Every structure is written in C-alpha cells, then in structure tokens.
Structure 1
Amino acid sequence: MTEALREPTFLILTALAEQPQHGYGVLEDVRGISEGRVNLRAGTLYAVLDRLRAEGLVEVDREEIVQSRLRRYYRITGLGAQRLADEVVRLRRNATAASARLRNSGVVLPEGGAA
C-alpha cells in the first residue's frame, strides 16, 4: 500500500496530467484547480518537482530559453499517472464513506458534495 499523496503533490501531478507545463504554469494551474486555496511558492514547487523526478513520477519534457532565462517544461510519466489515478481512487473511497456516514447522521451535503 502506497502512502497518501500530500495535497501539493497531488495538485502538481494533476496540473501535469493533461499536458507538459513550465514551473509558472504549474503554479497558476495549482491555484486554479484548488480554487485559490493552495498558492505554492516557487521554492516549494521546485523541491516537489525534484522529488517527483527522483521517484520517476515526472520528467523534463523540454527546455527553452525565453528572455535569456531557461524555461523547463515537465510532464507526468506513466508511473506518475498511475500513482495519481491510485490516489484519486483512494480519495473517492474515503469521500464516499464520509458522505454515507454524514447522510446517515442526518447531515445534508452541499451541492457538489460527494455522493
């Protein structure tokens, strides 16, 4: 059984699941996915990306020079996509169990809450 992903890691992998992105793009995407709740700092992002690269979950897609600065694009690997999918299943199971217990205790979930 693998360890649960921390929210920033989950959101970074989610940001990269659709297409390769550079660091600033990932920061903006994470902010959007989390509806503004998670605002990563660049240092945090690159530390997580380095760890994910070491674990084989992301890799460098390409590099380019923009305004005399290196821009590195990252992409999720097959292993990273599978790890993200496993986490989605785990979170969905937990949310379903919590929703059922709340309903059984008479709590009405807001629109968009887990079924």
Structure 2
Amino acid sequence: MARKKLDTLTEPMYYVLLSLRQERHGYGIMQNISALTGGRVNVGAGTLYALLERFEKDALICRTRVEENRKYYRLTEEGDRVLRVEYERIRRQTADMERVLREEEQK
C-alpha cells in the first residue's frame, strides 16, 4: 500500500482510481486497467477488492449501486484530488528525467 495515508500511490492503486473516473464494477475495473495499459498492468481480484475496501473506507470512492451481485463504484471528489496529486507527482518525475537526459545529450 502507499505510504503515509496515500502520500504516493502504487501502480495498481493509481489505475484503480483512474478507472473509477467512470462508474464500474470490479471485473470492469480489471478489464479497463488491462485495456488502458495494453496488458502491462494486471490487478488480481484479491488486490482489487482489498483496494476497493480501503478506498471506500478512506472515502476516495463510493459504492453507487449493486446490481446482480455486482457492486459498482465511482471516484469521489477526494479520490479525484488524490489521483490528480499523484498525476502531478508523476509529471514532475518525468520532467526531471527528461531534463537529465537532455543535459546528458548536450555533453
């Protein structure tokens, strides 16, 4: 799990939250993550349901409905905030790497 109350997100955490920008059920989340990442990231059922439980407890997601034994979830405002903070953190890391690579190329 992430450190210090979701200071940073693991890759599975990030993609679960990203997937829940639209309402989805568990299997739909797993399919979306695989599609988004071209199969590079796969979140197993055990990991997914542990994350959903934690995210719901932390009010990052909310259950929107239950239909035919499928629980549907969606990102909350707080979940969107956490996701955007992580996105900006990743962007800063990428920018740092790009700057280092440019500097190395100029030498």
TM-score, normalization by structure 1: 0.84
Structure 1 gap ranges (5+): 108-115
Aligned to 2:88: 89
Given candidates 43, 46, 55, the residue that maps to 1:43 is: 46
Residue 103 (structure 1) aligned with residue 106 (structure 2): no
Runs (4 or more) in structure 1 with deviation over 3 Å come to none
CA distance in structure 2 between the aligned counterparts of 1:4 and 1:44, rounded to whole angstroms: 17
Residues 18-40 of structure 1, C-alpha deviations (whole Å, 9 max, x = no match): x1001110000011112211111
Larger radius of gyration: 1
Match of 2:55 among 52, 55, 61: 52
In 2, Cα distance between equivalents of 1:101 and 1:3: 25
SS in 2 for 1:38: coil
Q: Which deviations, in whole Å up to 9, do the C-alpha atoms of 1:77-96 show, x marking residues without a partner?
A: 00000110111111101100
1:37-89 per-position Cα deviation (integer Å, ceiling 9, x unaligned): 11111111000100111111011011111xxxx01101000000011011111
Aligned residues: 102
Q: Map 1:63-82; keep pairs closer than 5 Å.
A: 63-65=66-68, 70-82=69-81
What CA RMSD, in Å, does the superposition of the two structures yield over aligned residues? 1.5
Bigger helix fraction: 2
Partner SS for 2:8: coil
- The 2-side partners of 1:29 and 1:9 are apart by 13
Corresponding residue of 1:15 = 19
TM-score when normalising by structure 2? 0.90
Q: Which amino acid aligns with 2:90?
A: L
